Structure 1
Amino acid sequence: MAEHIRDIRLVVLDMAGTTVADGGLVERALAAAARHVGADPEDGIDHVRATMGESKIAVFRHLFGEEARAQAANKAFEAAYAELVDGGEVAALPGAREAIEELTAQGRTVVLSTGFARPTQDAILAALGWQDLVPLTLCPADAGGRGRPYPDMVLTAFLRTRAVDSVREVAVVGDTSYDMLSGVRAGAGVVAGVLTGAHDADALRAAGATHVLGSVAELPGVLT
């Protein structure tokens, strides 16, 4: 494992719950989306919590079945989340920006990925002033439409950055079991879970985490 850590040159970081404080914003926006399509916000909440990290349209397809209803819920979710962002309710997790800057200073390429749609991701980046913090940001649509737990966003980061020669030189970091599964399926050398978001250490390890960290602030030290 030490050899893998020493060779890590590309770091793919999740956003909400990993580098960005969630504070229940995702669940609040999901509840608004459910009400928009006439559903009880409490229906399916266990599924929502279990699948944190998955692309939101995939969650709505599971919950509502009908494509038109799922798409309507997804648009309502994006609008509700954007309103929360505009209201100043999104913030970076302590030490997250500093960790990204330190990883970059170490000579590593950092990519930010999310299960949100591009407009939501861009709104978060703008609110945090992170538009130029990393060379590449990815949402499911950038990787063919499939979000986590598929490995597509990780592999897209690998292909588009050309920062490394092997997937074993990639670290994938997130707060959910779906983040861990995407890293495992991509063949990443390091798959690190953080305890600042949706899932606990047992869930992260069960999904294949090679490391469990208190927060992303610990990552630069671990990779060194």
Structure 2
Amino acid sequence: MTVRMKPYSLLIFDWDGTLMDSAAHITQCMRNAIAVVGAEPRTDAQIRHIIGLGLDEAIQHLYSNLSPSRIREIADEYRQEFLVRTTHGSELFSGARATLYTLAEQGYTLAVATGKSRRGLDKVLDETGLRELFPITRCADETRSKPHPQMLEEILTDCDTRKHDALMIGDSEYDLQMALNIGMDSLAVSYGVHGLEHLRQHQPRGHVDDVTHIPGWLAAQKGYT
């Protein structure tokens, strides 16, 4: 039995609520979009709960009885709010940037699996200057939305990595259920949109209360081949 130097070779991050403190921004953009189209208002708690899903799937969760055309109306207005009308974005969680560079320097391959659109992810990657750290990314509008495991399957294929050598890191039930659906280990972060007790129902390997604790958690894991 050989001890591995690292417990995983590939770390797959969710974006919103895991690396970026964007829940308030997303919630406001959705509230504005709902108001523009004149749909029945939803509470901040209801909107926060669907963060992590693809945009169409998120709106369907909020409005199960709306027609596809009305869902598209809200989605189009949300894109305008997020990509065009909003002049200020969200900030990375404190310590996230340094943590990501530390993990890259330690030899981990980093990837992103997000409910954001490709335009949305490209926007924040450019704004944060972190594009170089993530050679592989997947978005909900170019594959299946979480919790379907297709985006993880595609990342594993692109990285030529086995699922047992990868770890999904996220703040929502959709992240952890996606990993569970493919048989991949997951790490819950408790500072995002879903509470820790809720996240534990989806069988994460562990949890951290701060993004800066991720390298320490990884160092404490024992991996064997």
Normalised-by-shorter TM-score class = 0.7 to 0.9
Q: Which residue of 2 aligns with 1:96?
A: 96
State how many pairs are aligned.
Answer: 215
Query: What is the match of residue 213 of structure 1?
Result: 208
Q: Distance in 2 between matches of 1:139 and 1:23?
A: 17
Cα drift, residue 46 of structure 1: 5.1
- What are the residue-to-residue correspondences of 1:8-47 with 2, within 5 Å? 8-42=8-42, 47=46
What is the rounded CA distance, in whole Å, between the counterparts of 2:205 and 2:5 in structure 1? 11
1: distance between equivalents of 2:55 and 2:90?
Answer: 18
TM-score normalised by length of structure 2: 0.87
Decide whether the 8 Å contact of 2:53 with 2:140 is kept in 1. Answer: no
CA displacement at 1:51 relative to structure 2: 2.7
Return 5+ residue gaps in structure 1 as ranges: none
- Mapped to 2, the partners of 1:73 and 1:33 lie a distance apart of 6
Q: CA 1:47–1:207 in structure 2 vs 1: closer, same or farther (change >3 Å)?
A: farther
TM-superposition CA deviations, 1:73-126 (whole Å, max 9, x none)? 112112212247x52331111111222112211211100221111111111112
Using the alignment, how far apart are the partners of 1:9 and 1:48 within structure 2?
Answer: 34
- Structure 1 segment 5-84 matched on structure 2, within 5 A: 6-42=6-42, 47-62=46-61, 63=63, 65-83=66-84
User: Identity of counterpart residues, as a percentage?
Assistant: 22
Letter of the 1:57 partner, please give it: D
Q: Which amino acid aligns with 1:27?
A: T
- The answer to whether the 8 A contact 2:138-2:151 is kept is yes
| Structure 2: gaps of 5 or more residues | 220-225
Paired with 1:218 and 1:152, the residues of 2 have a C-alpha distance of: 28
> Relative to structure 1, is the Cα distance of residues 5 and 217 closer, same or farther in structure 2, using a 3 angstrom cutoff?
farther
Secondary structure of 1:212's counterpart equals: strand
Name which of 145, 149, 158 aligns with 1:160.
158
Root-mean-square deviation over aligned CA pairs: 2.1
What displacement does 1:159 show?
Answer: 0.9
Q: Over residues 20-56 of structure 1, what are the superposed CA-to-partner deviations in whole Å (9 max), with x where a residue is unaligned? A: 112511111111121122112226x554333321111
The structure number with the bigger radius of gyration is 2
- Secondary structure of 2:137's counterpart equals strand
Contact 2:176–2:204, Cα closer than 8 Å, also in 1 = yes
